[in-house]
């Protein structure tokens, strides 16, 4: 790197030391803006979750109560508070309480494995973890104090105010790390507030809007959902996890709650759109759907636009990165785009954002040429928590381009079209997006090789015909018994969140290498999901209901073989694919199936038992199995016999 390329942070964000900055409160902090909104909408409903609701005044009182306890534990300006709660009104109140104290909140997903939660808390060193008594054990191995909201007396709603500056940290969100260690992105009040201000002319959010909080609290899309709603006086509907995984129930929630603003990753919207297509015209109140987290190809919205048009609701694609505060670009999707557009068009930058396409020598590329996207402007975050070297590498001075400020080096590739719009081309490294979550394969590889029976691992994204991607893990085992797919999956499930779990596991005698001695990822064999030979044989003994479930598995997973006792998530399944299985079963059985059953009974055998006993000739479910499915079962048996696989 020459002197023009030298990465320099104006003020490297190594920790929360305040360096003697003035402490006068500013008008543009999240807490002060909420206070102004609360004053105008005290009796309006702020939060809804099922049959529970909370007005702005009640949310303010609960947040003040939690803030009082936080301050008693030493929370103040410059500290971090971790929040590990299931989706609840208390979760939102805890985030607001943290900001009232002048601290930054660290959102943790309560569904993450205990080891992952403990690792994050150990790295961030929060002054306290807000959780529940049932989850406090997850943090026993850390030095952090725990504050259990279910044990607190929150009657004291005395207003809490702290001296906060607009450049103080507001939240820290952890993203996957290429070195095997997750990293915390530190985002300021200014970063978030200017996002809402800069996008106001496009969206004109207001107190009549109803939003959903659909995404994980630990995913930065939730920041936009939560504060985009509450800082405009709207009503935020928290979506229970089970409902978020059931497109039918989620669609019904959108109708019942009269939701006007919906935020979705493209992959999640696919299943919602499929449900919408099967239903009679429903009285949706949506006025805008905002896509983010993953590349969006407008042609995928053709069916939706054919049913609903391009204005009710408006469809908007917004590209963004955690390090640049959720959203960076804006692109309205019209009917003509859905008809002809086959590329992921990013659109125009948000007004206070600058986008630069540079080549390997950090020179601007010409129209039509591929370049790396460097992002500057008001969205560039403060840096990485306690990772100064990494911050210096990714957050760099813009002086080599002839102006002040900092740029974030995204690693995303794009090209500029003659009309000025950017087209997304993918990554220059191995980083991938799974269901909107950014995943560094290196972190997954580090978790895999921690298994005592393995010596080497390589993880890649395997592209599906649908355009979605799933992780494939290739490994080399030590001499001796090789771990089974199930054992590896169970090992990783204790360390990685669901979105980082590989869908495929492939054991190799050695990883292929290039002439330079690096792993040749292009030479890795295509993963083949399936069961062991003994499991394959067991399917020949399947009941008609079990066989019907198996056939749907095979179609959804694109797998030739599955076993009765395979765990769906061990043979390449994801939560979105499980919803596709549920949809197929509901159509075949002509009856609704609770989404919770699908996540609880994740083998063919257990799900068949739950749905109905095949030995019971009076079973309604059993008799709903079509004759075609029975014939398929017999054909399957004959095929296996011909191949010598049947006993």
Q: Are 412 and 295 in contact (CB under 8 A)?
A: no
Domains and CATH numbers, the chain: 22-164 (3.40.50.980), 191-429 (3.40.50.12780), 440-523 (3.30.300.30), 533-642 (1.10.1200.10)
d(CA 425, CA 454): 35
pLDDT at 468: 66
Q: Are 383 and 395 in contact (CB under 8 A)?
A: yes
d(CA 549, CA 557): 12
**Strand 80-85 versus strand 128-131 pairing type:** parallel
- In the block, which residue shows the tokens 């909140």? 105
**Strand 406-416 versus strand 370-377 pairing type:** antiparallel
Q: For 580-617, what is each residue's pLDDT tens digit?
A: 888 888 888 888 888 888 888 888 889 998 887 444 33
Q: What are the residue ranges in the chain where pLDDT is below 50?
A: 1-26, 530-537, 613-633, 635-647
pLDDT at 481: 80
d(CA 486, CA 479): 19
**Residue 366: DSSP 8-state:** P
What is the end-to-end Cα distance of the chain in Å, rounded? 65
**Strand 469-477 versus strand 504-507 pairing type:** parallel
d(CA 641, CA 127): 64
3-state SS assignment for residue 127: coil
């Amino acid at each position: 790197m020459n002197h023009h390329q030298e990465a320099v942070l104006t003020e490297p964000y190594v920790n929360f030391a305040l360096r003697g900055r003035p402490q006068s409160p500013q008008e543009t902090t999240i807490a002060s803006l909420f206070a102004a909104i609360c004053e105008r909408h005290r009796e309006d409903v702020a939060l809804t979750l099922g049959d529970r609701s909370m007005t702005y005044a009640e949310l303010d009182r609960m947040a003040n109560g939690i803030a009082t306890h936080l301050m008693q534990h030493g929370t103040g300006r410059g500290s971090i508070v971790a929040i590990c709660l299931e989706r609840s009104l208390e979760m939102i109140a805890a985030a607001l309480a943290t900001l009232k104290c002048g601290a930054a909140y660290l959102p943790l997903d309560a569904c993450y494995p205990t080891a992952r939660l403990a690792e994050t808390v150990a790295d961030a060193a929060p002054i306290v973890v807000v959780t529940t008594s049932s989850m406090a054990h997850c943090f026993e191995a850390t030095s952090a104090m725990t504050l259990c909201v279910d044990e607190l007396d929150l009657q004291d709603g005395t207003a809490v105010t702290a001296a906060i500056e607009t450049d103080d940290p507001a939240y820290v969100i952890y993203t996957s790390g290429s070195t095997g260690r997750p990293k915390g992105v530190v985002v300021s009040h200014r970063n978030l507030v200017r996002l809402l201000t800069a996008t106001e002319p496009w969206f004109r959010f207001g107190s009549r809007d109803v939003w959903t909080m659909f995404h994980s609290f630990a995913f930065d899309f939730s920041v936009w959902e939560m504060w985009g709603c509450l800082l405009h006086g709207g009503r935020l509907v928290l979506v229970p996890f089970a409902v978020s995984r059931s497109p039918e129930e989620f669609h019904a929630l959108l109708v019942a709650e009269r939701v006007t603003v919906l935020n979705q990753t493209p992959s999640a919207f696919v299943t919602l759109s499929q449900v919408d297509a099967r239903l009679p015209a429903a009285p949706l109140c949506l006025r805008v759907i905002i896509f983010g987290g993953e590349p969006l190809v407008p042609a995928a919205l053709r069916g939706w636009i054919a049913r609903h048009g391009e204005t009710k609701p408006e469809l908007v694609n917004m590209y963004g990165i955690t390090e640049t505060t959720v959203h960076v670009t804006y692109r309205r999707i019209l009917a003509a785009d859905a008809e002809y557009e086959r590329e992921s068009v990013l659109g125009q930058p948000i007004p206070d954002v600058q986008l630069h396409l540079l080549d390997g020598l950090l020179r601007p590329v010409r129209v039509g040429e591929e370049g790396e996207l460097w992002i500057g402007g008001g969205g560039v975050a403060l840096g990485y928590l306690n990772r100064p070297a990494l911050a210096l590498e990714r957050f760099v001075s813009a002086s080599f381009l002839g102006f002040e400020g900092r740029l974030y080096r995204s690693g995303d590739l794009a090209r500029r079209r003659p009309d000025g719009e950017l087209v997304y081309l993918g990554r220059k490294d191995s980083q991938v997006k799974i269901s909107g979550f950014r995943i560094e394969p290196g972190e997954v590889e580090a978790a895999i090789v921690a298994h005592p029976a393995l010596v080497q691992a390589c993880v890649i994204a395997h592209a599906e015909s649908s355009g979605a991607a799933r992780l494939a893990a290739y490994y080399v085992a030590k001499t001796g018994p090789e771990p089974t797919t199930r054992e590896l999956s169970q090992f990783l499930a204790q360390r990685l969140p669901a979105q980082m779990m590989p869908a495929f596991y492939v054991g190799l005698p050695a990883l292929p290498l290039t002439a330079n001695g690096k792993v040749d990822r292009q030479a890795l064999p295509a993963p083949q999901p399936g069961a062991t030979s003994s499991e394959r044989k067991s399917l020949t003994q399947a009941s008609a209901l079990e066989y019907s479930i198996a056939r749907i598995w095979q179609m959804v997973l694109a797998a030739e073989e599955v076993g009765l006792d395979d765990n769906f998530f061990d043979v390449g399944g994801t939560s979105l694919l499980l919803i596709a299985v549920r949809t197929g079963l509901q159509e075949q059985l002509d009856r609704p199936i609770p989404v919770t059953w699908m996540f609880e009974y994740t083998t063919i055998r257990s799900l068949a038992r739950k749905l109905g006993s095949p030995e019971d000739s009076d079973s309604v479910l059993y008799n709903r199995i079509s004759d075609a499915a029975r014939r398929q079962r017999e054909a399957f048996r004959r095929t296996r016999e011909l191949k010598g696989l049947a006993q």
